[in-house]
Chain A
Amino acid sequence: MTSDPADPSDPTSPEGQALQQRRFMHLRWDLDKTYLRTEFDTVKDLIKTFRQKAEDKIAVAGASALLRALLDPRERSHRRVTFISGSPRQMRKVLTAKLALDGVEPDMFILKPNLENLLRGRFRAIRGQVGYKLKALLLSHMAAEHVDEYLFGDDAEQDAFIYSVYADILAGRVDAVALAAILSTCKVYRGDVDEIMAYHRQLFGSGEVVRRIFIHLERRSPLDRFAGYGARVVAIYNYFQGAAVLFEAGALEPRGLIAVTEAMESEGYTPERLANSLQDLMRRGVLHFGTIQKLSRELAAAESTMGRPVPRFLHAFEDAVGALENLNRPGPRWEAEINYLGIYHEARFRRQQHRFLGIRLLD
């Protein structure tokens, strides 16, 4: 266990605020099941997704509001957003149009060369994500002196794994030998391995750049599944939770948090659901009681200035927080060394243990 290596200086102090303003923020988003509500569990779903028009695609509740808030025009000059998606390159036009409809303009948009992989007979690369995403992350890394990266993925794929490897390469914790072992275990193609190792030589030990990795629990996976990654990975049930964590870190302005809250409400989220979400973060030690108080003050101020129907939210928050005894639980540990191979094999075993020769073994 180590102290929080990614914790920026106190954002509430004047020095902290000045530093916060000087820093670049690089947002990395996955698309399917992270930003977009996409179904691709069956071939039918895949075909449907491929044929969907931009206006038919639906963003996950609060995702576009959060992204717009983070890319506030006042801050845009030192904010950057890169989308890295496993969707085929042929979908670029429709996906760009969807983002434009949501008012999001990506600085970089990386899509997977699935057709090329198919034609070259690289079938593992069509389904596999480790080689493709890790390479794309390293390729699009923004070399700047003060940069904070916030990564967004989901639990349907290996985003927590890939993002953490990337973060630890930059932090100098995954050396060439360890990386080679990881890539070999993940059966990454030789060409991709060479390219990743070349990036590794350039970027290894760049610094503690990745502040948080948000994993949207689209499949509602158990939280324990992400415990091995330490506090840097924050599993979230919705983007209100993500906004609250970013608000606590000083990366999101109060008006941004209010915008996300309103967007969630318009998507049918009741004050109780949002309050439950806050309580969940508090119980996990991810969010502190002081943040809830600050958030309540901001919401109350927003009500008095803009006449929003806030009291129901405040009442629900008080109720949810009041139901707890330990209001300031120590947060999860920041792991100094993540056992990537162990996590990989555990996940692989988990996927396989349900069936053996078609026979159901475990629930």
Chain B
Amino acid sequence: MAHIVLDSCAGRDGGREALEAAAIASLQLDHQITVVGDESAITDALAKIAHDAERLRVAHARDRCEPDQDAADVLRQAPRNSIVVGLEIAARDPSAVFVSAGAPGTIVAGAQQILNRIPGVPHAALAAVYPTLRPHGPVSDLFALLLDVGATVECSGDDLVTFAAMGAAYASKISRIDRPRVALLCNGHGIANAPVRAREAHRRLLAAKPAFEYVGCIRADSVTSGDADVIVTDGFSGDVLLRTLEGVAATGESLLRRAAEKFQWRVGVQMLSDGISAIREFTDWENYGGAPLLGFGRAVVVTQADSGRRAFLNAIRLGAKIDRLQVIAAVSEGVAAFHGLSGPPRAPAPDPEAT
């Protein structure tokens, strides 16, 4: 039984949908759920929602953080916010999974302060799944993993190879792939045009002969082909790529809505409605269950800021799966095994923007 620690201060409707998801999960799933936030407001709201109080606990967070606030400011001005309180609860319980739709920067900064980092991991990575054309692994998982998508914007070669090890370990557990195919996201036609960090990571991954299959570089236009189970990049490029994929899906939706302008098009769309619904389901980010933050000794799942009930419920299910399959332990072992082969990582380079 997993212990889900859910931040109820973020998400759609000021966190109300997070609370509703917790209430539904308490009725449908056999997990301990701790909802973090303003206790008095949560208790009042829960009174109106069917829930199972036997499986639901409330932890009070005195301070509230705003989503657009700088991470350092949040931790300084609102030290007892729901992210900090939730991460502290997670730190105390080995079976805990922290789920939040809060600002990823604040979650990463809070996790760095509160949670133990996996040995050999210089920086954390946020891993997102995205739909591909080719299925992955024995369970024909249609989703591939992309990391990092925003946790570590400035990455070194060390970071990228560690991300590769973490992503491969995660995919081997979640998608049950024995030897995941891992690729580095590159620009142009080859590694020669890639930045130094990517070239260094490429060289080390080729030399290491790790437990996963390193398939080399992959261009952004091949990401959805499914040629790789795990694609590794820095947090900046990963975030840009993910937003682009989401933007394309949203544009497709808008184009379909424009079909209402002409009667013939409307009829055509109606005839294709089943297929369109299937594609919509397939590309809807709310079905993915959030992005796991890898690199810490506890599972953390970050959902989008405007997550609704369905997104939170899927994030809770993902968190429970991560706990059940002991994914964090597998990631830790994967990193240790990789560094055992390629040597320990160097100390993280100093942040040039740090004062």
Which A residues touch B117, using CB under 8 A? none
In the complex, what's the smallest C-beta–C-beta distance from B132 to chain A, in angstroms?
A: 34
A157 at the A/B interface (Cβ < 8 Å)? Answer: no
Q: Which of B56-64, B121-129, B241-249, B267-275 contacts A (4 or more CB under 8 A)?
A: B56-64
B31-73: which residues lie under 8 A (CB-CB) from chain A?
32, 34, 39-40, 43, 46-60, 62
B194 at the A/B interface (Cβ < 8 Å)? Answer: no
CA distance A320 to B34 in the complex (A): 10
CA distance A283 to B57 in the complex (A): 10
Q: Which of B39, B48, B54, B89 lies at the interface centre, i.e. has the most chain A CB atoms within 10 A of its CB?
A: B54
B115 at the A/B interface (Cβ < 8 Å)? Answer: no
CA distance A340 to B39 in the complex (A): 31
B27 at the A/B interface (Cβ < 8 Å)? Answer: yes
Q: Which of these, A220, A224, A273, contacts B47 with CB under 8 Å? A: A224
A34 at the A/B interface (Cβ < 8 Å)? Answer: no
CA distance A272 to B60 in the complex (A): 17
A246-298: which residues lie under 8 A (CB-CB) from chain B?
269-270, 272-273, 275-277, 279-280, 283-284
Which A residues touch B34, using CB under 8 A? 323
A324 at the A/B interface (Cβ < 8 Å)? Answer: yes
Q: Check B57 against A323 for contact (C-beta < 8 Å).
A: yes
Q: Check B54 against A223 for contact (C-beta < 8 Å).
A: no
Which B residues touch A279, using CB under 8 A? 57-58
Interface of B is mostly: mixed
Which A residues touch B39, using CB under 8 A? 283, 324-326
Q: Which of these, B46, B55, B62, contacts A223 with CB under 8 Å? A: B46
Which B residues touch A323, using CB under 8 A? 34, 57-60, 89
- Residue-wise, chain B 152-190 has the 8 Å CB interface mask toward A (1 for contact) of 000000000000000000000000000000000000000
- Residue-wise, chain A 309-326 has the 8 Å CB interface mask toward B (1 for contact) of 000000000001001111
Q: Check B47 against A223 for contact (C-beta < 8 Å).
A: yes
CA distance A224 to B59 in the complex (A): 21
In the complex, what's the smallest C-beta–C-beta distance from A280 to chain B, in angstroms?
A: 4
A184 at the A/B interface (Cβ < 8 Å)? Answer: no
Which A residues touch B46, using CB under 8 A? 223
A221 at the A/B interface (Cβ < 8 Å)? Answer: yes
In the complex, what's the smallest C-beta–C-beta distance from B254 to chain A, in angstroms?
A: 28
A85 at the A/B interface (Cβ < 8 Å)? Answer: no
Q: Check B51 against A220 for contact (C-beta < 8 Å).
A: yes
Q: Check A326 against B50 for contact (C-beta < 8 Å).
A: no
Q: Check A222 against B47 for contact (C-beta < 8 Å).
A: yes
Closest to A240 in B: B54
A186 at the A/B interface (Cβ < 8 Å)? Answer: no
Q: Check A237 against B49 for contact (C-beta < 8 Å).
A: no
Q: Check B50 against A273 for contact (C-beta < 8 Å).
A: no
- Residue-wise, chain A 14-40 has the 8 Å CB interface mask toward B (1 for contact) of 000000000000000000000000000
Which B residues touch A275, using CB under 8 A? 57
Q: Which of these, B32, B48, B51, B60, contacts A325 with CB under 8 Å? A: B60
Q: Check A276 against B57 for contact (C-beta < 8 Å).
A: yes
In the complex, what's the smallest C-beta–C-beta distance from B75 to chain A, in angstroms?
A: 20
Which A residues touch B43, using CB under 8 A? 283-284
Which A residues touch B60, using CB under 8 A? 323-326
Q: Check B54 against A224 for contact (C-beta < 8 Å).
A: no
Q: Check B50 against A237 for contact (C-beta < 8 Å).
A: no
In the complex, what's the smallest C-beta–C-beta distance from B202 to chain A, in angstroms?
A: 48
Which B residues touch A276, using CB under 8 A? 32, 53-57
Which B residues touch A222, using CB under 8 A? 47-51
A238 at the A/B interface (Cβ < 8 Å)? Answer: yes
A300 at the A/B interface (Cβ < 8 Å)? Answer: no
Closest to B53 in A: A280
In the complex, what's the smallest C-beta–C-beta distance from A214 to chain B, in angstroms?
A: 14
Which B residues touch A272, using CB under 8 A? 32, 57
A227 at the A/B interface (Cβ < 8 Å)? Answer: yes
Closest to A272 in B: B32
Which A residues touch B89, using CB under 8 A? 323
Closest to A281 in B: B53
Q: Check B53 against A227 for contact (C-beta < 8 Å).
A: no
Closest to B92 in A: A319
In the complex, what's the smallest C-beta–C-beta distance from B28 to chain A, in angstroms?
A: 11
Q: Which of A222, A276, A324 lies at the interface centre, i.e. has the most chain B CB atoms within 10 A of its CB?
A: A276
Q: A276-B57, A324-B59 are in contact. List 14 more A-B contacts (CB 8 A).
A: A220-B52, A222-B48, A222-B50, A238-B54, A272-B32, A273-B55, A284-B43, A284-B47, A323-B57, A323-B89, A325-B60, A325-B62, A326-B39, A326-B40
Selected A-B contacts with CB under 8 Å, 16 pairs: A220-B51, A222-B50, A222-B51, A224-B48, A237-B53, A273-B55, A276-B32, A276-B57, A283-B58, A320-B57, A324-B58, A324-B59, A324-B60, A325-B39, A326-B40, A326-B60
Q: Which 10 A-B pairs have the closest CB atoms?
A: A280-B53, A323-B59, A223-B47, A325-B60, A283-B43, A273-B54, A224-B47, A237-B53, A276-B57, A224-B48
Q: Which residues of A contact B (CB under 8 A)?
A: 220-224, 227, 237-238, 269-270, 272-273, 275-277, 279-280, 283-284, 320, 323-326
Q: Which residues of B contact A (CB under 8 A)?
A: 1, 27, 32, 34, 39-40, 43, 46-60, 62, 89
